[in-house]
Amino acid sequence: MLNEPVGVRSPQFSNQWIRVTPLGSVAYWYLDSMETVRRLGNMGEGWDGYGSPSIPVRTTIAANYILSLVSQHQVNSPHIAPVPGGGIQLEWDYDNRALEIEIHPSGEINFLIAEGDEIIVKPLHEKLLSPLLTWIQTGYFT
Amino acid sequence: MSPQQRQQIGDDDILWRRLTTPYWIKDSNGTRRVSSAAFKGSPHDLELSTHAAKLTTLERVFNSNPHALAVGEIVARMPRDLGLVVEHDPDEEDPSHTIIRLNTQKGIREKHAKELAKKAHLKERPPPELVKE
């Protein structure tokens, strides 16, 4: 069971399997995080009590894709939260550092890093993921 | 409600943001905190609903719709220091309703949400056996 591969579909090419993640190589929290994303995707319209639209399928697919990449790093489980408007965000806090990855319903993905009073928000590219995860754990970019 | 019935919200006035989903409460380095997602709003709704503590009670906020598991407590000065407008926006059902007008620019809105979440104090709904009848 542990080595059973899990396929992840690309957010852009939803009919094509582009990645297979052997479960033996992923973080302990990976399956739980996918279950959380599934639950968020099942929340109905108005889930926030203020009329937010539900979270579109493409957002949950993108969130699962990001989680599959993150799960291959030695990083703690992210806090996963729904964002009004239909987004999903992943959050980590280490000491005085914070990293957030927000998947917007439009398909756009941004990251936010905060250290002390300094906060930066930028678009996320896949190649930035590894340095960001290293930074949140160590305080250094590699 | 007419503008005449609107009240001034002072810089030191306490505002409560309802946390209507458990996913907006996170464990941060062993402490339960408010997720910035609770303060983000959306491009379609740039008025973040809060409740002025001086015009209501925590009990009332917890026991009226939308259902809240907790509130994120801030003071009006915090969003104002970020350049955001805070104004009393009462309605018949909720005379304490107060809005924070969020920035229209997405990246800035995310930063502001993070700032507010970092400063917000989490107040959780008491367990049912502690709630007064």
Interchain proximity A84–B40, CB inside 8 Å: yes
What A41-45 contacts at long range (C-beta under 8 Å, 24+ apart), as own/partner pairs, is A43/A82, A43/B21
Count how many domains chain A has. 1
Q: Who's near B127: CB < 8 A, 6+ residues apart? A: none
CA closest to B24 among chain A residues: A81
CA closest to A81 among chain B residues: B23
What is the per-residue pLDDT for A34?
96
Paired tokens of A65: 């894709």
What is the per-residue pLDDT for B126?
84
List the single best residue of B29, B32, B42, B125 to mutate versus A (max A Cβ within 10 A): B42
What is the per-residue pLDDT for A27?
87
pLDDT-derived band of residue A5, with 50, 70 and 90 as boundaries? very low
Is the CB of B29 inside 8 Å of chain A's CB atoms? yes
Question: Which carries the bigger pLDDT value, residue B82 or residue A50?
Answer: B82
pLDDT-derived band of residue A19, with 50, 70 and 90 as boundaries? low
Question: Which carries the bigger pLDDT value, residue A131 or residue A17?
Answer: A131
Q: Range of A108's domain?
A: 5-138
Mean pLDDT (whole number) for A12-36:
72
Transcribe chain A into DSSP letters: -TT-EEEEE-SS-TTSEEEEEEGGGS-TTHHHHHHHHHHHHH--TTTTSS-PPPPPHHHHHHHHHHHHHHTTSS-PPPEEEEETTTEEEEEEEETTEEEEEEE-TTS-EEEEEEETTEEEEEE--HHHHHHHHHHHHHS---
pLDDT-derived band of residue A15, with 50, 70 and 90 as boundaries? very low
State how far the Cα of A102 lies from the Cα of B95, in Å rounded to an integer: 34
Q: Residue B37 is nearest to which of A51, A83, A114, comparing CB atoms?
A: A83
Is the CB of A103 inside 8 Å of chain B's CB atoms? no
Can you give the residue ranges of every domain in chain B? 16-128
The low-confidence residues of chain B, meaning pLDDT below 50, are: 133
Is the CB of A116 inside 8 Å of chain B's CB atoms? no
Write the ipTM.
Answer: 0.89
Is the CB of A128 inside 8 Å of chain B's CB atoms? no
Q: Residue B110 is nearest to which of A48, A53, A112, comparing CB atoms?
A: A112
State how far the Cα of A78 lies from the Cα of B26, in Å rounded to an integer: 10
What is the per-residue pLDDT for A50?
85
What is the per-residue pLDDT for A3?
41
Q: Residue B110 is nearest to which of A36, A49, A102, comparing CB atoms?
A: A102
Is A133's pLDDT higher than 90?
A: yes
Is A17's pLDDT higher than 60?
A: no
pTM value is 0.87
List the single best residue of A54, A60, A88, A91 to mutate versus B (max B Cβ within 10 A): A91
Paired tokens of A91: 């959050």
